[in-house]
Amino acid sequence: MKRREFVGCGAIAGVAGLAGPGLVAAGPETAGRAFEAPPFELEEATLSELQKKMASGELSARRLTEAYLSRVAALDRQGPELRCVIETNPEALAIADALDAERKA
């Protein structure tokens, strides 16, 4: 990916974040059609709130990781296909499981 493409993706992602569910999908087959992002339960969650939920056992690191990986898939690889996330850590769920075990211990 060239620098110009990277900056363009960043700008698109920023606009997408501001536009929220009212995104318009791009591409000849979807031109002009609005894309409705699936609801995301953690959209307005702060880090402090997430930490509290994890400390209370209401939320696990694995569940949090799964939620964000699903969100990336929904917006970056499907839907409007922003393709701004270059790569996710293939070990993310294993790391989350280890962190959950550490928190439990």
pTM, 2 dp: 0.61
The answer to whether residues 92 and 63 touch, using CB atoms and an 8 Å cutoff, is no
**Percent of the chain that is helix, strand, coil (3-state, to 5):** 55, 5, 40
78-86 mean pLDDT: 78
In the block, tokens 């569910």 appear at 21
Residue 34 pairs in a beta bridge with 24
Query: Which of residues 11 and 80 earns the better pLDDT score?
Result: 80
pLDDT at residue number 75: 82
pLDDT at residue number 8: 52
- Helices 61-72, 47-56: crossing angle, 10 deg rounding: 140
pLDDT at residue number 13: 53
